[in-house]
Each structure stands twice: as C-alpha cells, then as structure tokens.
Amino acid sequence: MQMSRFAVRAVIAIAALGLTSAGLVQAQDKAKERASTVKVLLDNDKVRVTETTFKPGDVSRNQRQARTNYFVKGGTLERTFPDGKKTRNERKAGTAVWLEPDSDVVTNVGKTTVTLISVVKK
C-alpha cells in the first residue's frame, strides 16, 4: 500500500511537531530552574564583595574568579564541573573557604537556604 503525498506530509509534520514540543519542554524546564540571588555589597577598584543566597534548588552558573567565601548560613551545595564530575560540600555557618577560579555549576541540594559572602580581589 502506498501513502498519498498528503499522508506523507502529514506524518512528517506530526513528527516535526513532536520533536519541537520536546525541545520546548526542555527549554521550559531550564527556565523553571531558579537562579541564586546575588547582591553587591561593595564594588570598587580594589575589591568586589557580594552576598549570595541559595534557596533549596537554586543554581548558579557563572564563571568565577579566585575568591574567599564566608558562609553566613550553611547548608549542602553540589558543584558540577565542566567534565561532569560532581562534589557535594556541607558548609557550616561561620566557616570560610578559598576557591580557585572555576566555571562550575553550583546547586543547593539541601533543605535549607545557604547565604554566603564572596570577596574577590581585583
């Protein structure tokens, strides 16, 4: 049995619509991804100080310079590196860490809001 040209075109159109809608769903999922909130506390020619708040599920996708992070409120953060490697860090309030430059993705995978102060020397 041979399909008419109309039927072939209809099948192609339906298949294309399905692929397009799958792409739209993925784009919508990324749009739903919440970003961390960053507030600049000080920015001059010598230093930049920011306060970052990660609610549970929040994500930060930035390329970052070397910095010191001081955790005002602790919690569990997961870092995903460009090669796919992941690390989980439990940070306690009142601790400070030194971080080298990176372009990882940081996600709050815990149940509490994490607040940290970042200091970057210019």
β-bridge partners, 40: 50
Instruction: Quickly state the pLDDT bin for 14 (edges 50, 70, 90).
Output: low
* H helix or E strand, kind and range, residue 53: strand 47-54
Q: What is the pLDDT of residues 40-99, one digit of tens each?
A: 999 999 999 999 999 999 999 877 899 999 999 999 999 998 999 999 999 999 999 999
Measured torsion, CA atoms of residues 21, 104, 71, 93, in degrees rounded to the nearest 10: 80
Instruction: Quickly state the pLDDT bin for 28 (edges 50, 70, 90).
Output: very low
Dig out the tokens for 99 from the structure: 């971080």
CA distance 43 to 41: 7
Q: Identify the CA nearest to 61 among candidates 41, 47, 80, 87.
A: 80
In this predicted structure, what is the pLDDT of residue 2?
58
DSSP annotation of 40 reads: E
In this predicted structure, what is the pLDDT of residue 7?
54
- Scored b (16 or more CB within 10 A) or e, 44-55 reads eeeebbbebbbe
CA distance 23 to 66: 36
In this predicted structure, what is the pLDDT of residue 64?
82
Say yes or no to pLDDT of 15 above 70: no
In this predicted structure, what is the pLDDT of residue 91?
97
Average pLDDT over residues 88-115: 95
In this predicted structure, what is the pLDDT of residue 17?
47
Domain coordinates in residue numbering, the chain: 1-32, 37-121
The fourth-level CATH superfamily of domain 37-121 is Jelly Rolls (2.60.120.10)
Q: pTM of the entire structure? A: 0.71
